[in-house]
A and B are shown apart, each in its own frame.
Chain A
Amino acid sequence: MDIRVLPGDFEGPLAALGSGSFCVAVGGISVRFEGLPDGLLTAALERYGPFLSDDPPAHTVRLFEGDEHYLDMAEDKFLRLEEERLPEGRTLVSHSFAAFRPDQQPERGVLLLHSATPVDTAQGALENYLRWVVADLALDRCGFVLHAAGLVRGGRGYVFFGPSGAGKSTLTAMSVAMDPGCGILSDDLVLVTHRGSTIEVASTPFAGTLPQSDKKPGAYLLVGLYRLKQAPHNALRPVEPLAMATAMVLTCCPFVADASARRDRLMPLVESCCAAVPVQELSFLKDPGFWDIL
């Protein structure tokens, strides 16, 4: 049976899980995790290696002892992740963890995790919390997370998005094989941010198919935004009108449920990004020759 959590469940006294801490940066947004037990800290440091940061955190979340489970597992074993908007703040709940971010103190959060939770599962809790808080912190900074592959060539950023199977991972692998100087931002999720009159794309530490060590942390000027389409030849076609381009990009912005307030903030950001960096459809024959037409 699902356990519904309320803000009172995140108030003291709560039992500490540990005393470890680390800070991870996503495109200049630093999030600090505190109260980690030793095993989870070791695993997190290894997982987020290139993205560890000493910068002052924009958000700090503290871990405490929680219940063994909160939401029942889905019948198909697919991850259940449910966000709820309460008068006092937001909760994010899954099978193994529950988290709360109060409106009164948005720079702080609480994550409840049972001490017997396996390290792999606990890492998943940290990852989901990080994705959740970064989505909102990015919006606060005129940015958004995008399900896409990101590459850097000549110091400039290129983003390739599309449905599963469109070729993002293949394109990434081929590009790096063709040009060792080509840097990978991610093969799964990138952070796109407005910086004055320009748009930047940054690497993210979120788990994809690539090891973290293959990624190139940092933010780069975004010069190309491409929707992938598999085809028997390489070709480029502008996506018009702007409404269609915006809609295409919006379909690749990941969200948790009940995100209407977030979407209302997201839509103008995506629109202005697509206006500044026009979206093009890249018909893509799986060979690296497509770089010649970008």
Chain B
Amino acid sequence: MFEDGKYKRNPDVSWRTIEGQAVLIHNRNSEVIVVNEVGTLIWEQFDEGLESILRNIQDTFEVSRADAESDAREFLEQLISAGALLPR
């Protein structure tokens, strides 16, 4: 389960934002992930912490706090499963 402050972006993941969508590639297993606009925001701003991310999601996409947090946590769990986030 994701805990704010307990994870970091995997340094073995190369990434680039292309027309608002992040493309992540795992350098060890060559797995490639394309992330939507919300996920791109989360990934790009990951180091700023979950609270900041949630505020920015609400402001950018005009969604409720509850929806922002639900979507963000689901996405962060997916990133952990994919190996894009590692425990600190």
Instruction: Check: A81 CB closer than 8 A to any chain B CB.
Output: no
Instruction: Say if the beta carbon of B1 comes within 8 Å of chain A.
Output: no
Give a binary string over A248-279; 1 marks a CB under 8 Å from any B CB, 0 the rest. 00110001011110011001100100000000
Report which of A242, A255, A260, A264 forms a contact with B18, defined as CB distance below 8 A: A242
The B1-42 residues at the A interface (CB cut-off 8 A) are: 11-12, 14-16, 18-19, 21-23, 25, 27-28, 30, 32-34
**A74–B12 CA distance with the chains assembled, in angstroms:** 24
- In the bound assembly, the distance between CA atoms of A258 and B12 in angstroms comes to 8
A243 in the interface (beta carbon within 8 A): yes
Q: Could you say which residues of chain B place their CB within 8 Å of the CB of A271?
A: 16, 18
- Contact present for B11 and A260 (CB under 8 Å): yes
The closest CB in chain A to the CB of B19 belongs to A242
A257 to B22, CA, bound (A): 22
A264 cross-chain contacts in B, Cβ below 8 A: 14
User: Shortest beta-carbon distance, A78 to chain B, in Å?
Assistant: 15
B16/A260 in contact, CB under 8 A: no
From residue A294, how far is it (CB to closest CB) to chain B in Å? Answer: 25
CB distance from A81 to the nearest CB of B (A): 14
Q: In the complex, what residues of A have CB within 8 A of residue B25's CB?
A: 247, 250, 263, 267
Interface string of B35-71 (1 = CB under 8 A from A): 0000000000000000000000000000000000000
Whether the Cβ atoms of B27 and A243 lie closer than 8 Å is no
The verdict on A241 contacting chain B, using a C-beta distance below 8 Å, is yes
A241 to B25 Cα, complex, angstroms:
17
Within 8 Å of chain B (Cβ to Cβ): is A203? no
- Chain A residue nearest to B15 (CB atoms) is A267
A173 in the interface (beta carbon within 8 A): no
A174 to B66, CA, bound (A): 56
Q: Are B27 and A260 in contact (CB under 8 A)?
A: yes
A251 to B33, CA, bound (A): 10
5 residue pairs of the A-B complex, CB under 8 angstroms, read A242-B19, A247-B23, A260-B12, A263-B27, A271-B18
**Which residues of A are in contact with B by a Cβ distance under 8 Å?**
241-244, 246-247, 250-251, 255, 257-260, 263-264, 267-268, 271
- Kindly list 15 other residue pairs between chains A and B, CB separation below 8 angstroms, not including A243-B19, A243-B23, A247-B34: A241-B18, A243-B18, A243-B34, A244-B21, A244-B34, A246-B23, A247-B32, A250-B23, A250-B25, A257-B27, A257-B28, A258-B27, A263-B27, A267-B15, A267-B23
